[in-house]
Amino acid sequence: MLDHDASGFLRNGAPHRIVSGALHYFRVHPDLWDDRLRRLRALGVNTVDTYIPWNFHELPTGEVDFTGWRDVARFARTAQRLGLDVILRPGPYICAEWDLGGLPARLLAVDGLRLRCADPAYLAEVDGWFDAVVPEILPLLASRGGPVVAVQIENEYGSYGNDAAYLRHLRDGLVRRGVDCLLFTTDGAQDTMQQGGTLPGHLATATFGSRAPERLAVLRRHQPEGPLTAMEFWIGWFDRLGAPHHVRDPKETAASLDELLATGASVNLYMAHGGTNFGLWAGANHSGAHPCDAGYEPTATSYDYDAPIGEAGELTEKFHALREVIGRYVDLPNLPNLPDLPNLPELSELSELSELPGFPGGELPAPPPRLAPRRLDRPTGRARLLAALGRLSTPVRRACPEPMERLGQARGLIHYRTRVPGPRPELPLRIDGLADRAHLFADGRPLGTLDRNTPAATLPLATGPGGATLDILVEALGRVNYGPNMDDRKGITRGVAHGQQLLLDWEIRPLPLTDLGQLPYEDAESVPVADGDPAFHRFGTDLTAPADAFLALPGWGRGLLWLNGFLLGRYTAEGPQRTLYAPAPLWRAGRNEVVVLELAHHGEAVELRDQPDLGPTAQAPSSEY
């Protein structure tokens, strides 16, 4: 059991320091949980921290699922078997650069519902989530022999609001349902954030990545006694589309960690292993004052985070630098005692970690094998998206465009079609309330694109005597996951105008793209496509055995990439990442299928590479730490 007194943490009554690493089960293929947790344990941490995203577990049917990839109990028991305690952060809000901060998109379709406050409609939804998730947590609690030593009440609430009644409702909901472990809050190391997010009588923790004495002094002002904890000590940073890949110097990171641990504080390294925003789960940030303002920044598919354990399990220079620092303050794991690891010499017998025989850095076997590079030159089939709409979706009629959420759609694309009367001279087409990027067509001819970050932009359109069919295909990127602009509905939220006239009477097709089995593929040579004409391209390749790979699309524009029916994520020529991670469990011996949905500029081939390329790098601004 984990507790604390005026001086610090106690584990089963003995003084204890938490040295934790964040690793999110939902960003790692479940067949790789054991591998990544072993690497985490080898780093020297004694605890693993993970969120539980509500929207990942709640299915489109409304059922809540805790099986397969969503089996958080299996993840926690695996950690326990490897000697790790577990910290759980079950929401309802998690941030985590995850779509809508883990909240279900359907909440945005409820008229009048206000997120993350004591609004009765929102609290009723939260209670339903707690009714589902807490029974999964209870058997994992340390009081019942499980690994879970602490549970978070809310996440960085002081960065959003200051509703103490809301925080009490969450706390009471956890306790009333049987959660009897240490409860805590997490907020930025600023007075306003600590004021808004802490709850008297419960452990307060802070988030930061440098200048530890200064940040911990802020925390101490709001928590006069008890353990000091950096619940998110940022040792890297996430990437957004169109910006460089963030990195943080390993030596500087290690020095900042040393400074923190020298104060006697506990720590959770965020992220120890970042993983991947598979599918369409990546969130977004927004620097504007209003959701319709410019400043929208979608997060990349890779969540490598420049972590010590790389996206594909690599043990990096930062791994060794941080491990050396951790070893100054807590006992490093006795590697031969880890289950199923080879009988390696004691670390104390060696002068350098790299001298451990047979394994990079000495901690673990080499990462799983990688596929030999190859090029997939010839598509085995092609299908134009606009021609395949009838196979992909059933239309609904509405007088005005409506956002995805009101049509029961959470992620993907959405298509709007109407008639523009004619004849008309060239007039500007304008979309009000666009989220996030629109591809426009007149009678099937590409007109161009509009983007939410240029809300005043227009495209010219003239029509002949018979008018024209206007098609608008909207890409929904990640929902805002942090700050005040979380009411981030996708699609078209207000309307479309031609000149000064609103266009009405719309056919709308939600395109979640969860099943591509009905696509009418034809021979690629018989389906020519031009840039701006969205199309699916199917490629095939044969393997003797599965292995890790990195898929690259040089010469392509932007779109989505599937492997054997599993959506790896988004890609874009604007970067930063130039490859998408395709872990071994997604491949199979024999025939494999790769499908590319290209929305802008059609390339010629898909490349399988044996090394990741996350793009040109830049040091993350010091203000982000």
342: pLDDT strictly greater than 80: no
What average pLDDT does the segment 450-459 reach? 97
What average pLDDT does the segment 219-227 reach? 96
Per-residue confidence band for 365, with pLDDT thresholds at 50, 70 and 90: low
Q: What distance lies between CA 583 and its chain's CA centroid?
A: 17
What average pLDDT does the segment 308-334 reach? 94
Cα(431)–Cα(412) distance, rounded to whole angstroms? 19
Contact (CB, 8 A) for 488 and 291: yes
Which residues are paired to 542 by β-bridges?
591
Give the pLDDT confidence of 143-173 residue by residue, as tens digits. 999 999 999 999 999 999 999 999 999 999 9
In this structure, the dihedral spanned by the alpha carbons of residues 342, 348, 353 and 354, taken in order and rounded to 10 degrees, is: -80
- Portion of the chain with pLDDT greater than 90, in percent: 91
Residues 6+ apart with CB under 8 A from 572: 241, 242, 557, 558, 559
Q: Mind listing the domains of the chain with CATH numbers?
A: 16-92+122-331 (3.20.20.80), 374-380+521-609 (2.60.120.260), 384-511 (2.60.120.260)
514: pLDDT strictly greater than 50: yes
Contact (CB, 8 A) for 226 and 5: yes
What average pLDDT does the segment 477-489 reach? 96
463: pLDDT strictly greater than 80: yes
351: pLDDT strictly greater than 80: no
Distances (CA, A) of 591 to 54, 483, 545: 35, 45, 10
Residues 6+ apart with CB under 8 A from 124: none
- Number of Cβ atoms within 10 Å of the Cβ of 31: 12
Q: What distance lies between CA 93 and its chain's CA centroid?
A: 13
How big is the chain by its Cα radius of gyration, in Å?
25
Give the pLDDT confidence of 556-614 residue by residue, as tens digits. 999 999 999 999 999 999 999 999 999 999 999 999 999 999 999 999 999 999 999 99
Residue 514, classed as helix, strand or coil, is: coil
Per-residue confidence band for 344, with pLDDT thresholds at 50, 70 and 90: very low
Residue of 287 and 55 predicted with greater confidence: 55
355: pLDDT strictly greater than 50: no
pLDDT given for residue 293 in this prediction = 80
Place of tokens 């469990």: 585
Averaged pLDDT of the chain: 93
Cα(129)–Cα(65) distance, rounded to whole angstroms? 11
Cα(160)–Cα(167) distance, rounded to whole angstroms? 12
257-291: string of b/e by CB count within 10 Å (b at 16+)? bbebbeeebbbbbbbbbbbbbbbbbbbbbbebeeb
Classify residue 128 by its DSSP letter.
Answer: H
Distances (CA, A) of 493 to 268, 400, 433, 488, 490: 39, 9, 5, 10, 7
Q: How many residues does the chain have?
A: 625
pLDDT given for residue 290 in this prediction = 77
Cα(103)–Cα(114) distance, rounded to whole angstroms? 12
pLDDT given for residue 352 in this prediction = 30
Contact (CB, 8 A) for 194 and 218: yes
Residues 6+ apart with CB under 8 A from 77: 140, 146, 147
Residues 6+ apart with CB under 8 A from 615: 239, 244, 245, 575, 576, 577, 578
Contact (CB, 8 A) for 108 and 487: yes
**What's the predicted TM-score (pTM) here?**
0.94
Residue of 271 and 343 predicted with greater confidence: 271
Residue of 145 and 356 predicted with greater confidence: 145
pLDDT given for residue 621 in this prediction = 66
Residues classed as catalytic: 156, 232
HEC states along 539-550? EEEEECCCCEEE
337: pLDDT strictly greater than 90: no
Place of tokens 């410019």: 294
Lowest mean pLDDT among 42-56, 126-140, 361-375, 389-403: 361-375
Q: Comparing C-alpha atoms, which of 211, 182, 214 is closest to residue 199? A: 182
pLDDT given for residue 619 in this prediction = 86
Residue of 351 and 409 predicted with greater confidence: 409
Place of tokens 């049509």: 407
